[in-house]
A = this chain, B = another copy of it.
Amino acid sequence: MSTVSLDEMFKALSHPVRRDILHWLKQPELYFADQEHPLSLGVCAGKIERKTGLSQSTVSAHLATLQRAGLVSSKKVGQWNFFCRNEEQIQQLLNQLTQDL
């Protein structure tokens, strides 16, 4: 894991809304059970927006920060963007932290 990506990951984790989003995406069936599309696609950006209660542009910026850090991935299906956690990257970060910090 490069130094730059570690910087980006910690910056991404330094905001409570971004930590909330990661937490919700861990168990989408608990937090987004009302999504019409299958949760196996990920969670639709609009659903995440509504759950935060923040504006579309703010949440979009938070999701972009998480994605740049490699902590979430997105998939475009039709007009929708679906987000899910990048579990492999998150696990690598945890392993590295436990070992190095």
Interfacial residues, chain A to chain B (CB-CB below 8 A): 3, 6-8, 10-11, 13-16, 19, 22-23, 90, 93-94, 97-98, 100-101
Query: Complex Cα distance A94/B99, Å?
Result: 10
Partner pick for A3 among B16, B22, B98, CB 8 A cutoff? B16
Given A94-B101, A98-B98, A100-B23, the answer on whether A13 and B10 have CB atoms closer than 8 Å is yes
Contact of A98 among B8, B10, B94 (CB under 8 A): B94
CB-CB under 8 A from A100, the residues of chain B are 19, 23
Whether A10 and B10, one on each chain, are in contact in the complex, defined by CB atoms closer than 8 angstroms, is yes
Given contacts A11-B14, A19-B100, A90-B101, 9 further A-B contacts (CB under 8 A): A3-B16, A8-B14, A10-B10, A10-B11, A14-B14, A19-B101, A23-B100, A23-B101, A98-B98
